[in-house]
Structure 1
């Protein structure tokens, strides 16, 4: 498949692409109206480091905060349930709805959480972001307070154990009593420290604003997206669409392909008559220089059962006009030689002063046909009304891409018609 084939197919089937694009545009606009509008609001929360373990107080407090963990906490089911309970008076949102509408992220190297909430109305979005932020802070404070309560209870139990041990007879010695007193003092200090720890979880540093514009795309972007998707769908559909009529069909079909001159021989009862006119129409110099030959490339679609090729028919027609020509069957030449530059300068010297008809009917490679056309002085195509128009269109496109003009296209009736006429 050549690029010219693709371009030609798109040109012939442009209505398919246009219809697909329009359908995509309409569907995109309809989706914009059918799609419920969503609004987004964002609350920014500053997270306070809290270290509930006094023994670790010397550590960097900022390191006690894992922001990925805080993001998970803010999007947890427990926080969503608390936020849904807060919103229950104004909005019918379940904990699942709140959790699905919440998106939390933290800027790199910061202690800030951006809590974004998507709602069906501007007010719902703003209230939802605020409710989730408050529920997160409350949950974080409750967790911290629960940890302090646990540590306080454990410390108090340890103090009670030390006091009970101090009255035991085996610890009546001065050294043992001094050791127990030091333990009691340390535990008392720890208990006092636990009572003074700040459990403020953080604060909202950016209150959510009521959004003015919906976050969902409108009619214009969805329409353009539908148009683009329609084009993406329409182009391959046009390229794979079968030709309604793969036959040339007549002179109009050839002219639609872009041939410059078409000789209509479909009404001639004898092909020789058409070839006589073709030989007359070709612009062949009267006197051919003695240094170079005059090369004419003749191409046709191969027809089984025909004993004489179009190139030989042109040679015979020139002979009837008193011009001698040499017939060369390109199909008998190694295609590798053609791709490497046949006919060579040596071969052209041997043909000097002659009319050389190079017949490419039996040549399988379109690329080699084009190569020979660029090395020829004139190009003649012979086609019947039943030949494949797509193949001819492809060849014509390749020739145009190499700036090769088709001097003449001779159109003949289909083979069965000729047999009927001859009878």
Structure 2
């Protein structure tokens, strides 16, 4: 039979080699018939060698287990190798490296990767080099619902989603069954919004604060407030060549929540002229990001794409300056604008402008969507500017 038990001991009488005898459950000197008292180890093929010191019964149990798995056809030598090829940490690092490559190619945002690293880091701390095959419902449930593990039910749900993505990748890759996941329910909190007058004051304050530093900071926020199809991460993906001045439009490749697709946003005449003027003032190569730093500041260099937090940072400073509290960048731009539009054109029109309604055949064959967003942007230019206050109105939904 494959595999055997050995001992590193020598015979205490003649210093001879000691050989395993399965019928007598020990290793014995072939000349003196003296039994071994320790130094046991199991070899199983070329790749598996495991030591058991003075515990012969455990060594025998291990060897019998390997033989049983071989007979069943479930034996996988990687389960027993010292470098933990199927250990959770080993496979998690592979998965994160694959995600990092998506960031490099523009398919994923840096912020998303950082979140995944944080979530997987907690799981790696919990499970270490545990063989992934041994992580099932009970282990997932213990991890996700450990008291004090996560600050909110939403975070727990995000971690579950991350782990589900990881296990889907791993089980598909290894042709293994997918573990069952516990349910993680949560309720969305409230996101504070404002109205067009307050929004306009915040955007104007950002212009005062940043125009001399880099006018593209203000212009980015102006676009977020005017075009509900734009999301902050979308702007960071736009290159110089993605602006089509002749047709007054911008193409966003791999927009948020739409992998391997693109979205076109038609600009008003005012914003088309602003965009063109900025390109003339700060020329760049076609593949350079449009929203980039124009000079060296601290650790950032001229030509670097905006960081994921730069717009939120200046939004927060502007709000502080004019006395607005509790309104973040997303709530103050996209959510506020969508709500204000709905009051004028109805929910269907506003929803259409956000791009939440999709027709797959139309999206696939038509590069230019309908004019809803363009018409809404014109309304925004005309209507922004009435009494302002902060309104905690709608659930947080960062999709």
Indicate the TM-score class for this superposition, using the shorter chain for normalisation: under 0.3
Bigger helix fraction? 1
